[in-house]
Chain A
Amino acid sequence: MPTLWLVLIILALAAVGYVVGRQRALASSGGNAKLLHSLPSYYGANVSFAVIIPAIGLLILWLLVQPAWIQNRVADMIPEGAIPEGATLGLVMSDVERVATGLNLAVEQGAMSEEDASSIRTEFTDVRQRLGEVGVALGSNVDAPVLRAAQRYREMSATGNTWMTVAVLAAALFGFVSSLAVTKAGFRARNTVERVILIMLMVAASIAVLTTLGIVLSMLFETRNFFQQYPWTSFFFGLEWAPDFRGNSNLSIIPLLWGTLYISFIALLVAVPIGLFAAIYMSEYAGPRVRSVAKPLIEILAGIPTIVYGLFALITVGPLLRDYFAMPMGLGESASSVATAGVVMGIMLIPFVSSLSDDIINAVPQAMRDGSFGLGATHSETIRQVVVPAALPGIVGAILLAASRAIGETMIVVLGAGAAAAQFDRGLGELVNPFEAMTTVTVKIVSQLTGDTDFAAPETLVAFALGLTLFVITLGLNVLALYIVRKYREQYE
């Protein structure tokens, strides 16, 4: 039975359960809802939950486990000799799955009878051609072991699916019957439903947490592989970034980290004053009408895709900075520069800083302002000496969040600052020249992983080490921001 039908049956059973549970509860109190512990709908919901949760849970678990289990069993049928030169068991197994799908399709379309599908032999039938007729193209002729494995795969899936249907329906029915059995006037259905909702919310929260954990673990695993092939001292303390897929690469994070920090610094130099001043204007001076128009307009900046900012950097800001600043000052001739990426990234970050700071400044109690006005302070004195200091920890939090955005930014850098790593051997002058092309950690992660790469080489694996380092840095910034924001909450009552 297709899974969709199974789900529909469960849902139908749950709907029936709702109605029956409700009625049964009412009947048990003689039709007087006031004698029930909970509202009648809670009894219905309780039955529905008892049907859906175990059945769907079992279904999901089964669908996750069954393919892996079958593959494991079928893989034993492939002899060592059947694996062609240069291929792996995994590749052969994907062939097996493909043939099995093809056979299923052939049976469905009537090109093959059920018996044919399970009894054909490579010795008598050109399986490749027969499957080609139903639209499943195979790269090579089908070997006898592969065909037999595929047939076995089909058989086991079919049996597995039957058992799954039986088990899931049994679970649904069991839930239905057992929950109906306890549905009586005294049963605390409301509390049970409450607990089920709590558990559902907890599951949702833990999925997010577990995903983060999974990301970190996968990065850790690959990073360990990298450090087995490349000394960590050279990675963290070397001064040159020169990957070479033929070997002998210099893979140091320092030149990339320098680019990241320099560009982020310029971005913050642009974003923090503009964003902060905009926030102060919006929250302290602007009237409600200006505010209702200007605030969404500023926040539109946050909705522009970064690649569009990158284009802006590439065709407008880059040439502008080159023609009016870099060339006249003799600092460089490239449109791709740290300054270009930094300025454009700063523009991107303005809404982050302004929007968060605006909220924080608004949260400063009016009593603080009144106190200051009452002492004869002007508006700007009040802002400078009372409002901003009171909001400062929150503003710092906003800035740190913006900083972690800047550090992770890729597209603007590729288009604005180029893809050449900073070169420490050319001297300090070039390192600190904002009109020099430079690149960041994230750009190099992309470039090391794109293209036809060997996933066992340190030149590729370095991407994971870079990613993990960056993750640790931004995580640190976020923790710092959270800490500061939390501390700020205690500032005034």
Chain B
Amino acid sequence: MNDMRLTERAVDSKDVKIAARKVQVFYGETHAIKDVDVDIDDKTVTAFIGPSGCGKSTFLRCINRMNDTIDVARVEGDIHLDGEDIYNPKVDPVQLRAKVGMVFQKPNPFPKSIYDNVAYGPKIHGLAKNKAELDEIVERALRRGAIWDEVKDRLQEPGTGLSGGQQQRLCIARAVATEPEVLLMDEPCSALDPIATAQVEELIDELKQNYSVVIVTHSMQQAARVSQKTAFFHLGYLVEYGETGQIFTNPKDSRTESYITGRIG
């Protein structure tokens, strides 16, 4: 990437939202994440880049303890969210996931209506006292997901009937409906066409007003476009972490340079 404007991008110093120290992840015998230390800022888009199998998605899934649903996965080390250890036995992973929302690689709307897809989280967590409040939450979430105008007339139609890009924005709306503090996105655009990708990227840029967004991506252009901070993973190690402009224009580590210039990956 030789887009020099990147260096001029302002990065305000912000509070640390997530702090990870010496995180290790094992899948059975496989050591997938090794000694990862990272501080993720609030109200910032942080991109995780790296070649396939480098552990970036695995690390992302540590942040909302989605790895708990995999029997053979084991996580060591500390991850603090707002100074609280999320792997403390006292922490309820279900509560945590309400605070740390997630958007998946492939759009996965439930086979329910568009309305019910978005209302699912708020209903589970009791965010709405009555139908009117729920309607309001759904509308707000769909607006934030930048899909309200397209679906407002067909809220009762199944979410699976939407196009791929619409489905992914519906899933983002579904995730923001529970008012999370952090939004994790695991390659949210990999199943989308360029137009839908552009829409989702625009959306991510808006979302950073309210949330700390962590996005895993295979596309370095995308990381450069949407993120303020970038972390480069390689073979389970966090190789380099810094401001996006610096990572793409002036990487300190030779592996990072090789990757962004296309020599490894």
Contacts and interface: CB of A to CB of B under 8 A. Distances in A.
A377 interface: yes
Interface string A388-423: 011000000000000000000000000000000000
A391 B236 CA distance: 37
Contacts of B101: 374-375
Contacts of B108: 365, 367-368, 370-371
Nearest to A364: B111
A383 interface: no
B111 A376 contact: no
A192 B144 CA distance: 63
Given A287-B71, A491-B160, A492-B160, A374 B111 contact: no
Contact of A373 (B66, B95, B106, B111): B66
B255 interface: no
Contact of A374 (B66, B95, B109): B66
B175 A390 contact: no
Contacts of A390: 110-111
A367 B111 contact: no
Which residue, of A365, A371, A376, has the highest number of chain B Cβ atoms within 10 A? A376
A376 B71 contact: no
A376 B95 contact: yes
A365 B121 CA distance: 19
A367 B98 contact: no
Interface in B19-78: 64, 66, 69, 71
Given A374-B64, A375-B178, A368 B94 contact: no
B110 A374 contact: no
B171 A377 contact: no
B171 A373 contact: no
Given A375-B98, A376-B178, A493 B160 contact: yes
Which residue, of A287, A365, A367, has the highest number of chain B Cβ atoms within 10 A? A367
B129 interface: no
A241 to B, nearest CB: 46
Which residue, of A368, A369, A377, has the highest number of chain B Cβ atoms within 10 A? A377
B160 A376 contact: no
Contact of A491 (B106, B111, B171): B111
A371 B97 contact: no
A486 to B, nearest CB: 16
A372 B120 contact: yes
Contacts of A376: 94-99, 121, 124-125, 178
Contacts of A116: none
Contacts of B125: 376
Interface string A353-369: 00000000000010111
Nearest to A369: B69
Nearest to A385: B120
Contact of A371 (B96, B171, B178): B171
B102 interface: yes
B140 interface: no
B110 A368 contact: yes
11 contacts: A368-B108, A368-B110, A369-B69, A370-B69, A371-B110, A374-B64, A374-B103, A375-B121, A376-B121, A376-B178, A386-B120
Interface of A: 287, 365, 367-378, 381, 385-386, 389-390, 491-493
Given A371-B174, A376-B99, A376-B121, 16 more contacts: A367-B104, A367-B106, A370-B104, A371-B110, A372-B120, A374-B103, A375-B97, A375-B121, A376-B98, A376-B124, A376-B125, A377-B94, A389-B112, A491-B111, A491-B160, A492-B160
By Cβ-Cβ distance, the 3 closest A-B pairs, closest first, are: A376-B98, A374-B102, A367-B108
